[in-house]
Amino acid sequence: MRELINEFIDMKAVEAGAALNTLKAYRNDLEQYAKGILPLLVQNVKKEDIEDYLKKLKDSGCRPKTLSRKISALREFYKFLQSEQIMADNPATRLRTPKIGKSLPLFLTPKEIKKICEVSRTKHKNKFSIMRMCVMIKLMYSSGLRVSELVSLSENAINYDQLQILIYGKGSKERIVPITKEVKSEIFEYLERRGEFLGSRKSKWMFPSVRSLSGHMTRDGFFKNLKKMALEAGIACEKVHPHVLRHSFATKLVNKNADLRSIQKMLGHENIVTTEIYTHITTEKLANEVRKNHPLMQKKKNEEKEKKRKKYISRKNAIAAIWKVLEIYLFR
């Protein structure tokens, strides 16, 4: 089984050009599957066997989105085995994908970002580590970079005169992302301390790390630090994720009526449909504003209040009438 998984991963890397994180997810899902169907071999598995495995995952609390990803991995894996003539049929083809409800992206406010950095500065002694994280957080929050793009940012990627970053995104596609003057000044301050941190060492990375093999801060490292800082600041766990910073950037632009095509280019979305999810946030916000402030809604609220008042008076009068009858006939 391990050899087949390795061959599949190699094929995805070479022929499909899959990203490292995608390959890692494939490997984790398939290795878990191989253990889950023991003592069966993958070549002997039927659709019912896979469904039993997925049911166990679901019963153990596996979320629909995760199940959907695992099913997709199994379809691709068995499609590969079929193409290699290891299997005649693909037992994963007709698996039902769980329905995933659309959820609006979460976002952080500028006050929450400020609080995260301020609390961390007061609590931790390693000032450089906190400064590096704060610059990374604010850069991501103000530019909408993907976390993979942020951590692998080179020292020469930023054009400080034009306030721009040259990004090599998914599929090695280039795009230009603007930065603010405020972030530029914080980066300058950080770069001075960065030189002290590196000492005689040299690094081409904007955010170097002596612990990682890549030489720069890793995605996992950034996520762990961000989560720790946010929790210390009392920010809700569900809002603490690198992607939330990217979502926050897009949400701010949509709420300021920025052109959707421009937002798509800055985020590096291949399809504008992906960008349009942020318009739902604005639509919901507008709906709430209408319900709260529109004159017709206010009139409706007033009418409902008047109905309740009349109903209360009617009940009060009815009770008073009953007491009057009781006084006449029972307490004379």
Q: Which member of 65, 173, 243, 301 is catalytic?
A: 243
List the catalytic residue out of 138, 246, 247, 252.
Answer: 246
Catalytic-role residue among 170, 292, 294, 310: 170
Q: Calculate mean pLDDT across residues 2-9.
A: 88
Whether residues 189 and 315 share a domain: the answer is no
| pLDDT, mean of residues 172-189 | 88
| Two tokens, residue 246 | 């990217």
Q: Does the annotation mark 243 as catalytic?
A: yes
Count CB atoms within 10 A of the CB of residue 233: 18
Given CA atoms 234, 237, 239, 245 in this order, what sign does their dihedral have? positive
pLDDT tens-digit readout, 73-95? 999 999 998 888 888 888 888 88
Over 80: is that where the pLDDT of 319 sits?
A: no
Residue 161, domain CATH: 1.10.443.10
pLDDT tens for 49-60 read 899 999 999 899
Same domain, 219 and 114: yes
Is residue 139 one of the residues assigned to a domain?
A: yes
The answer to whether 247 is a known catalytic residue is: no
- The predicted pLDDT at position 301 comes to 65
Whether residue 98 lies inside any domain: the answer is no
Cis peptide before 295, with omega less than 30 degrees from 0? no
Identify which of 93-102, 129-138, 277-286, 299-308 has the greatest average pLDDT.
129-138
The number of distinct structural domains making up the chain is 3
Mean pLDDT for the chain overall = 84
Q: Given the residues 53, 78, 141, 278, select the one marked as catalytic.
A: 278
Residue 43's pLDDT band (boundaries 50, 70, 90)? Answer: confident
Query: Does 294 participate in catalysis according to the annotation?
Result: no
Q: Do 236 and 190 fall into the same domain? A: yes
Q: Tell whether the model's pLDDT for residue 45 goes beyond 80.
A: yes
Res 63: pLDDT: 86
- Per the structure, the complete domain to which residue 326 belongs is given by 305-332
Do 164 and 223 sit in the same domain of this protein? yes
Whether 246 sits among the annotated catalytic residues: the reply is: yes
308 is catalytic: no
User: Which residue out of 12, 132, 138, 146 is catalytically annotated?
Assistant: 146
